[in-house]
Amino acid sequence: MVLVWPIAAAAGNGHDLPMLEVLGISAFDERIYRAVLASPGITLQELVARSGESSGRIQSSLTRLQSKGLVNRLWGRSPRWTATNPGTAIRSLVRCFQGELDRVTDTADELETAFRAVGQDPDDIGHFEVLAGPEVLARWYRQVQQEAKDEVLTFDRPPYVLDYRNPLQSDRLRDGVRYRTIYAPEAFQHEGALDQLDTMLKVGEQARVLPGLPFKMVLADQRVAIMPLHLHLHQPLSRSVLIRGSTMVVALVELFERMWREAVPMYPQATPPDSTPGPVGDPAPEEDGERMDLDLEDRRLLALLAAGLKDDAIARQFGTSPRSLRRKLRHLFDELNAETRFQAGVQARRRGLV
């Protein structure tokens, strides 16, 4: 549900964009902070009434804000909340953040000294740059794709800096840039995500699904990569690192290829990802397996099952109820002559469906 705060609570930055994310304060927490700032002595119940959010979520937000020194709790029969002086509190957070950056810089200097001591030139190793703030990260995410000439490799999982859709991708695919993407199952929690994937597959994306992706990543032409410095599923990305021309990029490419081989192809019959032998192409089915044809809906269902999505998430992508989904599953299992999901997976593998 969208928060609806009093007008005064949004005052301060002249627009609706969150300004404190770079300090590790989420957009939601910032809105809670602004509400407390505008209404000194406000209670939890009043915040709940104004926002429509649960008391648990708002209480968690207040606790986080209190830990950062932005709000104080006034004890009494009905506890109330008040904001600390923003000039003092926020500047203190900025100093802490700057201190972290200074320590990183000092560490980089020490490591470079050690690096040179063994006769290596850092210019031969590559370039690392910390990207702070969602706007900076979004700009570089677009730029890396725009500069790609051959191929973009992606680990796709929440959270997202922009919308989970990538409007630039279809244009680059039409330009001849190849996209290979490994999706985490959580990437399909958004309604419409599967339809978006269908659109990208039609213009040439090669997609697979793999549970347990370790992090987000975009990597272009085996020379430049962006990956987050931290990854919390329910918190916005605040800092990432840009890596250019480094041996670490080579390692990330090797990791991608290994996980690509382990991942489940999306709709392999309808859109064969590649006929190229080696790590890019799909593994062939077992020679003794009987091939069979499935319609697009069954291929979708089989791919999402193999990827480990829960029934509720799959039903949401199909726009149906869990009960209707179970009927679809029963039909698919009958087609595969299977009684359980495990048996269905074995049969699908034998028949070259995953």
CATH architecture of the domain formed by 296-350: Orthogonal Bundle (1.10)
Strand partners for 204: none
In this predicted model, what pLDDT tens digit does every residue of 48-74 receive, in sequence order? 988 888 888 999 899 888 888 888 888
In this predicted model, what pLDDT tens digit does every residue of 271-328 receive, in sequence order? 444 433 344 444 444 444 455 566 677 777 777 776 667 777 777 777 778 788 788 8
pLDDT of 121 reads: 53
Rounded distance between C-alpha atoms, residue 64 and residue 232, angstroms: 15
Global pTM exceeds 0.85: no
Confidence tier at 259 by pLDDT (50, 70, 90): very high
| β-bridge pairing 178-183 and 206-209 | parallel
Confidence tier at 150 by pLDDT (50, 70, 90): very high
Q: Name the residue with higher pLDDT: 202 or 114.
A: 202
Q: Which two tokens stand for residue 88?
A: 């003092």
Is a pLDDT exceeding 90 seen at residue 181? yes
Rounded distance between C-alpha atoms, residue 62 and residue 72, angstroms: 9
Strands (DSSP E) contained in the chain are: 42-43, 71-74, 80-83, 127-132, 151-156, 178-183, 206-209, 217-220, 224-228, 239-244, 264-265
Confidence tier at 18 by pLDDT (50, 70, 90): low
**Any idea what the Cα angle at residue 124 is, between residues 122 and 130, rounded to 5°?**
55
- For 6, the 3-state DSSP assignment is coil
* CATH topology identical between 7-84 and 296-350: yes
- For 210, the 3-state DSSP assignment is coil
Q: Calculate the average pLDDT of the chain.
A: 76
How far CA 142 is from CA of 15, 17, 139, 169, 324, in Å, comes to: 24, 20, 5, 9, 39
Rounded distance between C-alpha atoms, residue 44 and residue 36, angstroms: 10
Rounded distance between C-alpha atoms, residue 134 and residue 130, angstroms: 12
- Chain centroid, CA 156 distance in Å: 6
**Any idea what the Cα angle at residue 180 is, between residues 176 and 184, rounded to 5°?**
150
- Rounded to the nearest 5°, which phi and psi values hold at 96? -65, -45
Q: Which two tokens stand for residue 197?
A: 């994937």
Is a pLDDT exceeding 70 seen at residue 108? yes
CATH of 7-84, one of 1.10.8.420, 3.40.30.10, 1.10.10.10, 3.30.830.10: 1.10.10.10
pLDDT of 125 reads: 53
**Domain regions of the chain by residue span:** 7-84, 132-265, 296-350
- For 230, the 3-state DSSP assignment is coil
What CATH class has 132-265? alpha beta
Q: Name the residue with higher pLDDT: 103 or 291.
A: 103
